[in-house]
Amino acid sequence: MTTKPDYDALVIGAGFSGLAVLHHLREKGLKTIVVDGESEVGGTWWRNNYPGVRTDSEYSYYSFSFSKEVREEWAWTERYPSGKEVLSYLQFVADRLDLRKDIMLNTRVTKAVYNEADNVWDVSLSNGSTVTATYFISGMGVLSRPIWPDIPGREKFKGRLLHAAEWPREGVDLKGKRVGLIGLGASGIQITPTIAPEVGEFYVFQRQPNFIVAATNPKVTPEELAHVRATYDEIWERAANHPFGVDMVPAQYSAKEVTPEERQRIFESKWDEGGFHFANECFNDLATDHESSELASEFIRGKIREIVKDPATAELLCPKDYSFNGKRVPTGFGFYDAFNLPHVHLIDTKTNPITEITEKGLIVDGKEYELDVLICATGFDAMTGNLTGLDIVGRGGEVLRDKFKVDGIGGNLGIMYNGFPNFMVSLGPQTPYSNLPVPIQLGAQWMANAIDFARKNNIAVLEATPESEEWWGKESERAAKATVMYEQGKKAKAWFLGDNVPGKPREIQVYMGGGQVYQDYCRQAVADDYRSFRAPEFA
């Protein structure tokens, strides 16, 4: 190359991933630019504004560990912070670490092409310019390409049609309105109890019930915050060594090893503790043993029957076709209680699917439900959607979405792909299914170290070897097969398996072998001088 590239690295996305990558690349002295199509930083937490949006993880481990200033100066106010609070946190991170000067907002990457002659990425932007960068890094997020339900007639609806993931920033007045909701994943589960008290009539269209673990959300006291700040390094260490990236103690026993009374006592105590404590701390095999998963399922069904007063509604809310951990477990803040309100109606669309969306509402079992507002909380083309939705063109003109069809989606450790030199992904397909700030930060540090190593050793190209891709695909498959989700997820239409998107090839989307195991593999790659990231002819 005759001229220097414009940047050492170009990163797409100014959410958790982009901010962490920018911070760590700067530490290594790389001239870096982050490009984001939105008008503000925050990524997922900027875009997701729907009523009730908040974390499912507790604040104490839902944050970065790398900046002492941020840790000391930022004050969380709720155990499970609202979306607004997480957004403020990310804005604070951007300001406190002076990241904004290297972030270009309101600009989309429209195409990225590897220019082999110059060993740079030519990145086209929505403002019409093209910039060059040696390293091209995706921080586009894993759950940010929304999907709408494949129900005919959507365009006919004359009322207000909304998607949870594209909620208007100015908010929506739902007071007294006839509101319909399609979708009861983590998003719909948060929307339901939040809007139920204010709407006129609320029709919740449920195709498949979910196992929802309850949580309470107390305010964070100054004493508690001081303790978290003082012990943050230990909290982070525990989260980084936990399979699910949370500050929790992995359980020691199988649900089958204890007496029924003891099991009930443990289930009850962790249910009261709330949220992911139930999933992670009761027993060590709720995600890996079908019988144990079914024991947890039955406990939750009991809770549903206890909370929901109308027995027919309670039965409809009880998942019976798959068991606990068959898909991502959401946290509910008063979800089941909402169905005790007289104007909240649960409509079963599994037995009788929604056949049509009409001008006035939608039709189930020949009956038209008239609506002023229809909310779709129908999820995302998870993990791969953003990568396949962009033209990412590697060596010899190969497009990433085409490579996925041939070689699988995971590359090497979900970070890099053969044929796509110096292209890296934060939270790529087949990276750990876990509390995400942990793998995001560790991944950003890994990338910065890898690039630093390459620069110091005059390695012009980092790129997954074909062997490493084959190995990682097999390891991801092996790890998934050891979980109940692998079988149960088929019945649950889990996004973990791509089963939530009609026509998407069935492939494990995340690494299910545990975050700490994944980090061991990442450390091993470093110890091996990144050999599996150095395709032989370029090493």
- Write 359-366 long-range contacts (CB < 8 A, 24+): 359/156, 359/157, 359/158, 360/158, 360/159, 361/157, 361/159, 361/178, 361/180, 362/151, 362/153, 362/157, 362/180, 362/205, 364/205
The interface region with ligand NAP, picked from 142-150, 224-232, 251-259, 360-368 by CB under 6 A, is 142-150
Site string for ligand NAP, 273-302 (x = CB under 6 A): ------------------------------
Minimum distance between the CB of residue 59 and ligand NAP, rounded to whole angstroms? Answer: 12
Minimum distance between the CB of residue 244 and ligand NAP, rounded to whole angstroms? Answer: 12
| From candidates 95, 98, 150, 467, binder to ligand NAP by CB under 6 A | 150
- Do 376 and 182 meet the contact criterion of CB atoms below 8 Å apart? yes
* Token pair for 440: 């995001």
| From candidates 32, 55, 412, 434, binder to ligand NAP by CB under 6 A | 55
Q: Footprint of ligand NAP on residues 508-537 (CB under 6 A)? A: none
- Does residue number 143 form part of the binding site for ligand NAP (CB under 6 A)? yes
> Count of CB atoms within 10 A of residue 219's CB?
9
φ, ψ at 36 (rounded to 5°): -140, 135
The interface region with ligand NAP, picked from 144-152, 392-400, 418-426, 530-538 by CB under 6 A, is 144-152
Distance between CA atoms of residues 37 and 33, nearest Å: 13
Site string for ligand NAP, 471-500 (x = CB under 6 A): ----------------------x-x----x
- Does residue number 5 form part of the binding site for ligand NAP (CB under 6 A)? no
Minimum distance between the CB of residue 327 and ligand NAP, rounded to whole angstroms? Answer: 7
- Write 86-92 long-range contacts (CB < 8 A, 24+): 86/42, 86/45, 86/54, 86/55, 86/62, 87/42, 87/45, 87/46, 89/63, 90/15, 90/16, 90/19, 90/41, 90/42, 90/43, 90/45, 90/46, 91/40, 91/41, 91/42
Which residue, 358 or 445, has its beta carbon nearer to ligand NAP?
358
- Does residue number 186 form part of the binding site for ligand NAP (CB under 6 A)? yes
Which residue, 15 or 394, has its beta carbon nearer to ligand NAP?
15
The interface region with ligand NAP, picked from 176-184, 415-423, 438-446, 458-466 by CB under 6 A, is 176-184
Q: One-letter amino acid identity for 343?
A: H
Nearest to 317 by CA among 277, 345, 292: 345
Class of residue 180 by CB neighbours under 10 A (exposed 0-12, middle 13-18, buried 19+): buried
> Each residue of 385-399: b (16+ CB within 10 Å) or e?
bbbbebebbbeeebb
Q: What's the number of CA atoms in the CB half-sphere (13 Å) around residue 506?
A: 9
Site string for ligand NAP, 335-354 (x = CB under 6 A): --------------x-----
Minimum distance between the CB of residue 493 and ligand NAP, rounded to whole angstroms? Answer: 4
* Token pair for 230: 């003082």
The interface region with ligand NAP, picked from 88-96, 148-156, 272-280, 517-525 by CB under 6 A, is 148-156
| From candidates 144, 187, 293, 476, binder to ligand NAP by CB under 6 A | 187
Question: Apex CA 17: angle with CA 12 and CA 64, to 5°?
Answer: 155
What pairing do the DSSP bridges indicate for beta strands 201-206 and 160-163?
Answer: unpaired
Minimum distance between the CB of residue 114 and ligand NAP, rounded to whole angstroms? Answer: 31
Give, as one character, the DSSP assignment of residue 219: B
Q: Which residue is nearest to ligand NAP (CB)?
A: 185
Q: Footprint of ligand NAP on residues 194-223 (CB under 6 A)? A: 207-208
Which residue, 163 or 263, has its beta carbon nearer to ligand NAP?
163
Minimum distance between the CB of residue 401 and ligand NAP, rounded to whole angstroms? Answer: 21
Which residue, 331 or 468, has its beta carbon nearer to ligand NAP?
331
Residues within the interface to ligand NAP (CB under 6 A): 54-56, 143, 149-151, 164, 182-188, 207-208, 328, 349, 377-380, 493, 495, 500
